[in-house]
Amino acid sequence: MPRITEYGDLVWTPKETQRLLNNYKHAPKKTLEKIFPDRTYVAIQGKANKMSLSKRLKYPPWSDEELSLLKTFQGSTLTFREISDYFITRTVSAVKCRFYRIGLEKSKKSKYSKPQWLEEDTAILEQLYSDPNNSVEEIHAELKGHHSINAIRLKVSRMGLKREWGLLSG
C-alpha cells in the first residue's frame, strides 16, 4: 500500500524519484503522465522543482566563430529572424540579445525603404501631369513602377502641380 503524507499526498518512492531523474528533462508531458499514472502533471513538476530538475535546455556559451559571424551582420538590414537562420542552435531572441549585448547596431535604413524621387522622375512627373489626357496609371507606367500610384498623387500634391484642363469641346 502506498504511503501518504499528512496532507493526503503520495510519498515519492526512491524508485519513482530515480525514474523522474532519468526522464524529466527530455520526456514530454504525455510520456511523464504515462510513466507516473498515479500522479498529476503538477505533482510531477513540483517534485522535479524540489529536485532542482529543469526542462530548460542549457545552450553552450557563444563560440568565437558564432560571435565572428554575428559581427558580420553589423549595419545589416536583415531582420533578426533572418539573421537567426544562420545560427542553428540559437533562437531569434538569443541572437537579438547577443547582438545588442556585444554592442552591435542594425542599419537604421529598412530594407523596405521607400524609393527616393530622382530629379529625372520629378521632371517626368511635371511634364506628364500637366497634360490632362495622362492618367495617374499612365504616369505610373512611364515612371517604370518605381513609385506607387499613391506616392505619385502625394508628390503631385506636395509639388502643388495643377492640370490645365482647357475648354471642353462638345
Q: What is the mean pLDDT of the chain?
A: 84
pLDDT in tens, 40-51: 999 999 999 999
* One domain, residues 12 and 39: yes
pLDDT at 71: 92
pLDDT at 95: 92
Compute the residue count for the chain.
170
Residue 168 covered by a domain: no
* One domain, residues 38 and 74: no
pLDDT in tens, 59-89: 788 999 999 999 998 888 888 988 988 888 8
The domain total for the chain is 3
pTM value is 0.37
* One domain, residues 97 and 50: no
Which residue segment(s) compose the domain that 74 sits in? 64-101
Taking residues 12-36, report their average pLDDT: 90
pLDDT in tens, 104-156: 888 766 555 567 888 888 888 888 888 888 888 888 888 877 788 888 888 88
